[in-house]
Structure 1
Amino acid sequence: MFTRRNVVKGGAASVLSGLLASSLWAKGPKAPNIIFILADDLGYADLSVFGREDFETPNLDRLAASGMALTRSYANSSVCSPTRLALMTGQYQYRYPGGLDEPLGVDPTLGLPADVLTFPDLLKKAGYDTSLVGKWHLGGLPEFGPLKSGYDRFWGIYQGGADYFDHGMTIHSKFTHDLWDGEKEIHRQGYLTDLITNQSLRELKHFKARQNPFLLSVHYTAPHWPWEGPEDEEIAAEIKNSFHYDGGNNATYAAMVKSLDDGVGRIMDALYANGQADNTIIVFTSDNGGERFSKIWPFRGMKGELLEGGIRVPTIFHWPGHIPAGTTSDLPNMTMDWVPTLLAAAGIEARDQIPLDGINLLPNLLSKTTGQDRTLFWRHNAQNQSAAAKGSWKYLSMSGHEFLFDLAADPREVANLKDKHPDIFTNLKSSFAKWNKEMLPYPENSFSYEFRGKGNIAGY
């Protein structure tokens, strides 16, 4: 499942035993800086360090070699906006109307409300500078936006995707430009992945001058469609619909991922050049599972599905002096867990300020222990999907059919064991039903994705 060919084998876990009290995380000369890098539609095995073989991702491999690769990381959703809402709140996204699946933007009244206390809000209250570069996709102006939800600065796109050269969406022959500096529309030339990287480097210089601890959220649009590599500007000019499902190829996808990898490398190099690296946490992950050209082996399924390929994501956690280099963890974790985890690293007690569904992963990651025996839940309106996972067992309901899988023995989710293990099946199904009663119901007229072929969905 996970290849160590680019990961330095290392230990040093013994130095961690004294770091397990959350009050100690930020006792150094300065609270740790945080860079959260979020890819868009990146498949579980799309990094060479996670198993991609037809192209290399040397910079992300380097990040894993100096930190920890998490091999059982899950996105909060199999589609984009709900996961991003969970990342902002540390909660299951289904607690909010804006988290009831995509595409967010069809209903202009939905988004992340400005009065909801968020992850960047809490860091800002603790003296952090906060900046988001890249994709927002949690509601549009004038009611919603990053500057209303805890970020000091924003540079990027508000919607779910954009052409990599025109920086907007073309739908039904109508083009809408979508590139902003804060709440001011701007126009720039260049490949969007590179522009996001360039702006991230400017933010690092700004933070260095300010001398405050910082949160830099780098939310790339890559490798989300339209399928355009850095050298494809002429091809991009011919695309008449941003829902570019019939375009692209494996080579184009490789170029998109490698451009993302190059950007991460430039950010890492700038951290070292600026003297910021030793006190900076870096988290890299994806908002959901892979799309058309992704590699998701050994799983099956893809974006929009609650099979492992739609929700399992590659994740790297880098924290010099705390996370031993070249290590791996199979601790089950979910996007929303990064909120209490990173707040704990910053020395911030969050649970007395906001309700959290996520858990602090630090004690288990730093001590290499298995963690609590928790159950994780998902649902998705398309195909009436629901899922619950506890340990190696996973309950899945999809298109009116129910399954029980043993992920340890059957990661491809082929053998349905619900009749062989009826007690486990019943318990997980009951757990899902109990949890689901706590979440908001889908509205009767809610939009649901239309599938455009086996396992492929139309949407952001």
Structure 2
Amino acid sequence: MTNFVFILADDLGYADLGCYGGRENVSPHLDAMAAKGVRFTQAYSNSPVCSPTRFALITGRYQYHLRGADEEPMTDRLRGSTEIGLPPQHPTLASLLRDAGYRTALVGKWHLGYPPHFGPLKSGYEEHIGPLSGGVSYFSHVDRGGKHDLVENGEPVNHDGKYLTDLLSERAADYIRRRADDRSPFLLSLHYTAPHWPWETRSQGKANPETDRDITHKHGGSIHVYRQMIREMDEGIGLVMKTLDECGLDDDTIVVFTSDNGGERFSDNWPLVGGKMDLTEGGIRVPCIAHWPKGIAPGTVSNQTVITMDWTATMLEAAGVKADERYPMEGMSLLPIFKEPQLSMPRPMYWRMNYRRQRAMREGDWKYLAIEDKEYLFNLASDERERANLATREPHLLQSMREQYERWSAEIRPCDPNAYIGLVYTEKDMPSR
């Protein structure tokens, strides 16, 4: 049976990695993974913010079906909520695989609702260690509210002083060794918090009391610290890949790496414009690599448009597991791309975002984008920086894509007008639009 390791970075920019044109050598292990597998140039996250993308990944469906996707971001203010989180009765990638005989674990960030009503162990994962909220200190593991937020299998656990990225990498490697020993097929979701704020590296060595008072760290960080955080995450991924190889699991394991949304303050999104919170390309186009020696030719590059929830459909098909008929997959399996990288599978993709009333759709080379009352039409094949608005030159195409978007949106649960939309940064702090 095929194993799965799904690695999710947090707020990583499109061009932060060397294999995506990065300006510094921060990702030798991920670059090697791309050289031995497939690198997607047109990969997207389901959302430009954390939680909604995670809803889409775990369900394999557009996140807008669920109430929690309206909360941007899902902060610790929602602790105790009975409504906003991933419903335990909803089938998930983890629960479907578990019920088919897989062992399942989440190592890292959850961010899909708080106990006692929500949590990884309620949604198909047999094991979990990591934070429940969106971001924590890398050494003291406190959240935005100053609350300690590191749990293991539902209970608080103390690893104060241990650099979180290293803790997650080591636990992931340990999990792989245990599965090799019992020869069970497995799903390992390795969801890093790196390189999300607060910007702290291993060399810092201990918690910074000033940072811990406000881990959003608006006054701190630098491009150099940010890049080092990527290096340290990359080293952990190298450990995971080495462990798979040493355990003889490399050939039988599909490893996927991507980001939950576009980059933030210190990210490199070139040549894209915008970043986290935006439906411009910089907010939703992400690096994405897949490695599977048995099924992917080395050095492959694919221009197929893909989106986060496609990986759910891909893993289920690779495992021979069917989706729940009540909740059909809305992503598509990418296994045909593994076999034939130049294959083109046309399909529309849609996004909406409460912040600034953003709406977007991509089909083929064309992208429809609306921000508040302004509409844009871009040909991404010739203008991926989204500088030339062709709305007035192609009015019929604009109208057609708008109508197609509206038909799709009408079939999805409407946005909750009372949803919380909280911004970590002010407008001047966000990337240029």
TM-score normalised over the length of structure 2: 0.95
AA aligned to 1:72 is Q
Question: Counterpart in 1 of 2:140?
Answer: 166
Per the alignment, in what secondary structure is the counterpart of residue 278 of structure 1?
coil
Please give the residue correspondences for 1:72-91 in structure 2 after superposition, counting only pairs within 5 Å.
Answer: 72-91=42-61
State the Cα distance separating 1:373 from its structure 2 match: 2.3
Question: Counterpart in 1 of 2:290?
Answer: 317
Contact 1:37 1:284 in 2 (8 A): yes
2:28 is aligned with 1:58 = yes
Question: Counterpart in 2 of 1:146?
Answer: 120
The total of aligned residue pairs comes to 424
Change beyond 3 A, Cα 1:449–1:370: farther
Aligned-partner Cα distance in 2 for 1:170–1:32: 38
Aligned-partner Cα distance in 1 for 2:100–2:339: 24
Question: Counterpart in 2 of 1:255?
Answer: 228
2:169 is aligned with 1:197 = yes
State the Cα distance separating 1:369 from its structure 2 match: 4.1
Contact 1:101 1:380 in 2 (8 A): no
Contact 2:140 2:207 in 1 (8 A): no
Aligned-partner Cα distance in 1 for 2:19–2:226: 17
Aligned-partner Cα distance in 2 for 1:383–1:170: 24
AA aligned to 1:179 is L
Deviations 1:388-410 (A, max 9, x none): 01001000011321100000100
Contact 1:322 1:366 in 2 (8 A): yes
Q: Gaps spanning 5+ residues in structure 2: where? A: none
State the Cα distance separating 1:359 from its structure 2 match: 0.9
2:99 is aligned with 1:125 = yes
AA aligned to 2:11 is D
Contact 1:301 1:455 in 2 (8 A): no
State the Cα distance separating 1:322 from its structure 2 match: 1.0
Choose the corresponding residue for 1:136, options 86, 110, 116: 110
Change beyond 3 A, Cα 1:164–1:293: same
AA aligned to 2:117 is E
Choose the corresponding residue for 1:70, options 25, 40, 55: 40
Aligned-partner Cα distance in 1 for 2:408–2:144: 39
Contact 1:98 1:104 in 2 (8 A): yes
Please give the residue correspondences for 1:218-233 in structure 2 after superposition, counting only pairs within 5 Å.
Answer: 218-233=190-205
2:335 is aligned with 1:365 = no
Aligned-partner Cα distance in 1 for 2:287–2:35: 14
Contact 2:94 2:124 in 1 (8 A): yes
Aligned-partner Cα distance in 2 for 1:276–1:434: 45
Does 243-252 or 303-312 show the bigger shift?
243-252
State the Cα distance separating 1:201 from its structure 2 match: 1.4
Aligned-partner Cα distance in 1 for 2:379–2:33: 31
Contact 1:35 1:280 in 2 (8 A): yes
AA aligned to 1:340 is A
Per the alignment, in what secondary structure is the counterpart of residue 168 of structure 1?
coil
Contact 1:304 1:455 in 2 (8 A): no
Please give the residue correspondences for 1:60-459 in structure 2 after superposition, counting only pairs within 5 Å.
Answer: 60-105=30-75, 106-107=77-78, 108-109=81-82, 110-171=84-145, 175-188=146-159, 189-233=161-205, 236-239=208-211, 240-350=213-323, 352=325, 354-450=327-423, 452-454=426-428, 456=430
Question: Counterpart in 1 of 2:13?
Answer: 43
Contact 1:132 1:217 in 2 (8 A): yes
State the Cα distance separating 1:278 from its structure 2 match: 1.5
Does 99-108 or 385-394 show the bigger shift?
99-108
AA aligned to 1:232 is Q
Aligned-partner Cα distance in 1 for 2:24–2:94: 37
Contact 2:9 2:195 in 1 (8 A): yes
Aligned-partner Cα distance in 2 for 1:158–1:234: 21
Q: List structure 1 segments (4+ residues) > 4 angstroms apart after TM superposition.
A: none
Aligned-partner Cα distance in 1 for 2:290–2:125: 22
Q: Gaps spanning 5+ residues in structure 1: where? A: 1-30
Does 367-376 or 183-192 show the bigger shift?
367-376
Per the alignment, in what secondary structure is the counterpart of residue 337 of structure 2?
helix
Q: Identity of paired residues, percent?
A: 44
Per the alignment, in what secondary structure is the counterpart of residue 403 of structure 2?
helix
Does 410-419 or 224-233 show the bigger shift?
224-233
Deviations 1:133-157 (A, max 9, x none): 0000000111100100000101111
Does 274-283 or 447-456 show the bigger shift?
447-456
Per the alignment, in what secondary structure is the counterpart of residue 86 of structure 1?
helix
Deviations 1:99-134 (A, max 9, x none): 224222433231000000001111111110000000
Contact 1:407 1:413 in 2 (8 A): yes
Aligned-partner Cα distance in 1 for 2:429–2:377: 19
Aligned-partner Cα distance in 1 for 2:20–2:344: 23
Per the alignment, in what secondary structure is the counterpart of residue 309 of structure 2?
helix
CA-based RMSD: 1.5
Aligned-partner Cα distance in 2 for 1:147–1:384: 34
Contact 1:383 1:399 in 2 (8 A): yes
Deviations 1:237-263 (A, max 9, x none): 331211112210011001100001000
Per the alignment, in what secondary structure is the counterpart of residue 141 of structure 1?
coil
Per the alignment, in what secondary structure is the counterpart of residue 154 of structure 1?
strand
Per the alignment, in what secondary structure is the counterpart of residue 284 of structure 1?
strand
Aligned-partner Cα distance in 2 for 1:455–1:367: 42
